[in-house]
Structure 1
C-alpha cells in the first residue's frame, strides 16, 4: 500500500507505526529521493511497514524479503553509522543481489533503528533508481529520525508494560477474582483492560469478577463506555461483574454523564462484594 500523507495537526505519536508515518512525511520534504521506507526485521524476514513513494513504486507496504537478501541487512551490518551506496550496480556488496538486478541500479541510503539495549528493530531507508548525493543536513536528518524512532520504541514498550501490569486480575478463590484498575484510562488502555478481563475470566473459569475502581483518578466518557463494555462482555461469557470502589466524585460524574449503570451490581467496598457472593470476612 502506498499512501499520500498530509501534514499532521500535532506531533503526538500513539505508537511506532504512527511515528514512522510522520518521520517519512517530514523526510520526503527535505530529501530528493523517490522512495523512503521503514522496514522491520526479525533476523529472518525484512518487512516494509511504512512506505512513501513519490513517483515510481519501488517498494510497497507489507512487502517482504528474506533479510539477508535485502539492502537493509547491509545497513544493520554497517552498525549505527549511516550507510550510503551511491551506485548499487557497481558496488561490490550489491551489484550481484537480486534486488539490484530487478531495479537496474540506483542509490540506497539507510541507518538502523535500534532499541535502547542495542537490539535491532529495523531500518529507515531511502531508495531510487537514479544516482543521488546527499548533503550533510540530509544525512543528519536520517540520523535524527533514527534516534527519534528509538525513543518512540522505548515509550511504546514502557506503555505496553504499564498496560499489562496496571490492571492485573488477582484470584481470590475458585471462581472469584479481583480486577483493580489504577490510574487514568485512555482508549488504548481501556481496550487492554477489556482484553485482560476477558482472557483471565476464561483462563481462571471465573463465576464472579470484582472490578475495583478506587484507583481511578478521573472519569470520562471513555471510562464509562469501557465499564459498560466490560460488564456486557463478562455477562455474555457467564461471569457476574461487581463494581466497587466508586469514589463520591466519580459517582457524581457518572450520574451527570447519564451513564446507564442501573443494570450493574455496584457495592461500596470489597467486603460487601464478597458478602454478596457468599463469603464472610471473619475478624
Structure 2
C-alpha cells in the first residue's frame, strides 16, 4: 500500500523552525508559539505561529532585558512557566506585560552545542492557560531538537564552504574550484564566502572554475551571474573556466550573459591570458664524474 505521508525536506533552520512551531501548536493550545533569537542585547522574533489572535509579530524586536525571553534565559534550560504575567513578581512591573492582561508565558532557551544561547522557544497567551507536565516536556524536547537543527545547518555551511575553497595562486589572483551539485542555498553560501574573502584580502582576479559542477539550472545560473556582477562592482575581475556543453544547453542565456567576462576552457589557458605561465621544473642531474 502506497504511503500518503509526504516527505519533508528542510533546506535551512527557518523552514525546520516553522514546522516545529506547527507541530507544537497542534499539541499545545496556547495562542502564540514563537522562536526568538538574541545577540545578548536585542531579542528578535524569528518565527511565529499565532492561532486566534496575533499576539506576537514575526520580525519584531525589542531590547532583550525588556522581553519575557530574557527571563527564560536567566531561568536556565528547564521550562519557565509564568501562569499570570500580571501577578508574577518577575513580569508584573515590565512594560510589555500590559499587552497580555492575565495571560500565561512559557519559555525554554535554545542553545548551541557549545553552551552559548541562540535564543528561546516560547508560548504566550493573553488569558490563563494551564500547561501539563507533558506539554512542558514537549517544549523542552523541541528546544533540544532546534539545537540539533542549528548544529546541522552550521556543519552544512562549513561543508559547503570547504567544497568551494578559495585557493591563492599569487598576489592578487585566486581560484574558486566549484565542485558537485549546486543548489540555490549552496550558491548563496559560496557567494557569501567569496565576498568575505575578497573584503579581507586584496584581489585583482578571481578565477571561478566550474568544471567540477555536476548540474546547473536557471536558478543556479542566476546566482553565478550575481557573483560575477558583484565581483565587478567591488573591483575584482572575474574569470570563468570549465563551462561544459551541458551547461550551455541547459541554461542557454547563461553563456550569453557572460559575453563581457573572460571565459577560458581550463585553468592553464586562463592563467596564460592573465600573463602567467606554468613552468615545469625539470633539472637534469649531470654525472660530474
TM range (shorter): 0.7 to 0.9
3-state SS, counterpart of residue 176 of structure 1: strand
Give structure 1 stretches of 5+ with no counterpart.
Answer: 1-7
1:5 equivalent in structure 2: none
List aligned pairs for 1:3-152, cutoff 5 A: 10-152=7-149
Partner Cα separation in structure 2 for residue 90 and residue 34 of structure 1 = 20
**Closer, same or farther: CA 253–127 of 1 in aligned 2, 3 Å:** same
Deviates more, 1:82-91 or 1:116-125: 82-91
The CA deviation at 1:32 is: 1.3
Q: TM-score, normalized by length of structure 1?
A: 0.81
Correspondent of 1:180 among 157, 177, 180:
177
2:255 to 247, 251, 261: 261
CA distance 1:193–1:41, change in 2 (3 Å): closer
> What does residue 157 of structure 1 align with?
154
Which TM-score applies when normalising by structure 2? 0.79
Per-residue CA deviations over 1:7-62 (Å, capped at 9, x if unaligned) read: x9653222222222212222112211122111112222222222222223322223
- How far apart, CA to CA, are the structure 2 residues paired with 1:64 and 1:265? 45
Cα distance change, pair 180–126 in 1 and its aligned pair in 2 (3 A): same
Secondary structure at the counterpart of residue 255 of structure 2: coil
CA contact (8 A) 2:43 2:64 kept: yes
CA contact (8 A) 1:209 1:240 kept: yes
Equivalent in the alignment of 1:194: 191
Displacement after TM superposition at 1:186 (Å): 0.7
**Cα contact 1:177–1:206 (8 A) shared by 2:** yes
| Cα gap change, 1:9 to 1:261, in 2 (>3 Å) | same
Tell which deviates more after alignment, 89-98 or 32-41: 89-98
How far apart in 1 are the matches of 2:65 and 2:233?
A: 48
Distance 1:22 1:191 in 2: 23
Aligned length: 271
1:213 and 2:210 matched: yes
Match of 2:283 in 1: none
| Alpha-carbon distance in structure 2 between the residues aligned to 1:81 and 1:204 | 45
- 1:4 corresponding residue in structure 2: none
